[in-house]
Homo-oligomer: A and B are copies of this chain.
Amino acid sequence: MQHTKSYIKGAPSRAIICVSDGTGITAEILSKGLLTQFEGINFRQMRFPFVDSPEKAMDCLQGIRDARRMDGVRPLVVMTMMNPEISAILRQEDAHFLDLFDAFIAPLEKELGVKSAHTVGRSHGQTSHEYTNRIAAISFAIAHDDGITDSDLANADVILVGVSRSGKTPTSLYLSMQFGIRAANYPLIPEDFERDHLPDTLKPFRGKLFGLTIAPEQLHLIRQERRPDSNYSALDTCRQEVAAAERMMRREGIKWFDMTSRSIEEVAVQIIQAINSKSRPGYFG
């Protein structure tokens, strides 16, 4: 069980139970988004993925009952179930149900004038082409992590630059994994700042460079985890590197994004927007 926010002493406790006949990732993402809207309650999240048989539904039903007894209030149950017979089993318990498919599938059937397939697991398949493309993008991101190799940068869709631990690696990987984008990343290091120009390797690719930056205080905390009490992690070093990197990016006309109060997902989507803004403002895809 996982508390979705930090625990508030004395506040009431409430279970939020994500149930799906698939991975439950959709239910989980939605429930996190919804719960951030409510303060003063200690939510704890439970997950029941792959509930695709009456037996598994009975286990889950027991989980809902236990949670109810423990908290003394109705649990919230976020469901993405294709099979109405299985969701009916869960609905025997007195809980607050948020049923994603129930809310949207019936109105969609009417709008589209066709019946839905109501089959299980269909959303989890992927075409071989999509899969292959994603795998290739991930391999590319790993091969071009942290400036490991200069070769093949011409085939990158984007090249992220920034100081060490500014978030380049996770952002590159997220871009490749979620969107199949070939993202290389290249560190800006003290030597670059001394020479006061971009690494030569990057110069031919100015059009696909994007920068990441981060508040020096946060960078300091992240670097402390890696090499505690070193010159590398000293707050003063972080301040100097971040200032020098931002100066260089500004001068070179590299658009950059601040990771300080943004998630990896958010910056990744902003980068995609920036890539596409030249051709079709407002959307990408």
Which of A's residues lie within 8 Å of B, judged by CB?
Answer: 1-2, 6, 14, 22-26, 29-30, 32-34, 36-41, 45-50, 56, 59-60, 63, 74, 76, 80, 82, 96, 98, 100-101, 103-105, 107-108, 111-112, 114, 116-119, 122-128, 131-132, 134-136, 138-139, 142, 145, 165, 167, 169-170, 173-174, 177-178, 218, 221-222, 225, 261-266, 268-270, 273, 281-285
Q: Which residues of B contact A135 (CB under 8 A)?
A: 165, 167, 169-170, 222
Kindly list 20 other residue pairs between chains A and B, CB separation below 8 angstroms, not including A26-B29, A33-B100, A132-B225. Answer: A14-B112, A22-B33, A23-B268, A25-B265, A38-B108, A38-B112, A38-B114, A38-B117, A41-B112, A47-B283, A47-B284, A49-B269, A49-B270, A76-B108, A96-B108, A124-B266, A126-B263, A135-B169, A142-B169, A173-B173
The distance in angstroms between the C-alpha atoms of A39 and B145, with both chains bound, is 40
Number of copies: 2
Residue of A26, A32, A48 ringed by the most chain B CB atoms within 10 A: A26
- Smallest Cβ distance from A249 to chain B, in angstroms? 21
B269 touches A63 (CB 8 A): no
A269 in contact with B14 given A221-B132, A262-B124 (CB within 8 Å): no
